[in-house]
Amino acid sequence: MSTFVEPVMQITTQDSDQLLRGIVIPPRPTIMLALQEAQQGGDPEPSDIAALISQDVSLSAAMLKTVNSPFFGLPQRVSSVPHAVILLGVRNAIRLASDLALRNALKCDGHYHVERFWDMATLDAQVTAFLAVQLNLPVRDQAYTFGLFQNCGIPLLLARFKDYQDTLDLAYASRNKPFTTIEMDRHGTHHAVIGYLVARCWFLPESIGQAILTHHDGTVFTEPSSEITDEVRTLVALAKLGEQISHGFLHLPRDQEWPTIGRAVLDHLHLSHDEYEDLCDAIQQMLERQGQE
């Protein structure tokens, strides 16, 4: 999302209040807590999980829309939440429902830019997860969640600052100043750190929080640090690769960081040029199918 990237800042507890800039992070949704409690007793029954999810109409609709995407590759179209839980498996269904519940908690009803943002975030999540499966990577369980929430600080900043959309426009257009630097200059914080604080508040896995925090830090690939795990690098690499492919096909703004880190991303994922082209073709076919539905 920016041209050149800067080293990631270290976040301490003392920094949090200052960086939040008055932003209030919504509490974890009740349905998410209920799903977590259902798992504590062992292996919950699919029917019990389906019943919990079905209590929330908007969550149920979002889940059915998501699982029927070509990127999920289910053998048949899903028409009910119980059917979705059975096909996905209980663990995957709980993870997806939790992700969607968190997404709904960050929505701003009637705000065009936020609604558009979540449409793109969902696409990014689908592509990131698809790549993780295609490449048989050990981060498959985290890929969808990270793809969905890597930029989750943006809707909170849109709600907090009336001129934040202007900031986004400036940052997307910039060719010589990092995205997060433009945010810091104008607002004293930026979406990567806000997203990290959201992940920490919601008890998302630490690897996802670190990936959110570092996803604009090109030194993750060019100057590897022992402080950043291979799992975090892989999540960031998958999201960068997915955005490069899907945004190009959809004629959306390209990630201006790609010329700087693209080669390092492909090297990290052990992808040759031909393998990269094959993935481009596969994702474009999925996007075409999705556009026809």
Q: Are residues 204 and 189 in the same domain?
A: yes
Encode pLDDT of 6-26 as tens digits. 444 556 655 777 788 789 899
- Predicted confidence at residue 1, as pLDDT, reads 42
> End of a domain among 88, 105, 122?
105
Residues 180 and 223 in one domain: yes
Q: What does pTM read for this prediction?
A: 0.89
Residue 5 pLDDT class (50, 70, 90 cuts): very low
174 confidence band (pLDDT: 50, 70, 90): confident
Whether 34 shows a pLDDT value over 90: the answer reads: yes
Does residue 126 register a pLDDT over 80?
Answer: yes
Q: Please indicate, yes or no, whether residues 217 and 91 belong to a single structural domain of this protein.
A: no
Same domain, residue pair 185 and 289:
yes
Query: Hey, which of 194-203, 215-224, 281-290 has the most confident mean pLDDT?
Result: 194-203
Please compute Rg for the chain using Cα positions: 19
Residue 213's pLDDT is what?
94
**pLDDT 10s digits, 60-71:** 999 999 999 999
CATH number for the domain spanning 144: value is 1.10.3210
67 & 204 share domain: no
**15 and 158: one domain?**
yes
Domains held by the chain: number: 2
Is the same domain home to 125 and 155?
A: yes
Least reliable range by pLDDT among 6-20, 193-207, 271-285 = 6-20
Q: Give yes or no for residue 108 having a pLDDT over 90.
A: no
Tell me: do 80 and 152 sit in the same domain. Answer: no
285 and 155 fall within a common domain: yes
What domain range is 60 assigned to? 28-105
More confident residue, 34 or 250: 34
Domain boundary among the residues 105, 138, 161 is at 105
Comparing C-alpha atoms, which of 199, 209, 217, 225 is closest to residue 265? Answer: 217
Q: Is residue 287 scored above 80 in pLDDT?
A: yes
Q: Are residues 200 and 90 in the same domain?
A: no
* Same domain, residue pair 42 and 146: no
- pLDDT classification of 292: cutoffs 50, 70, 90: low
User: What are the pLDDT digits (tens) for 220-255?
Assistant: 887 877 788 999 999 999 999 999 998 888 877 777
Q: Pick from 52, 80, 105: which residue ends a domain?
A: 105
- Do 50 and 139 belong to one domain? no
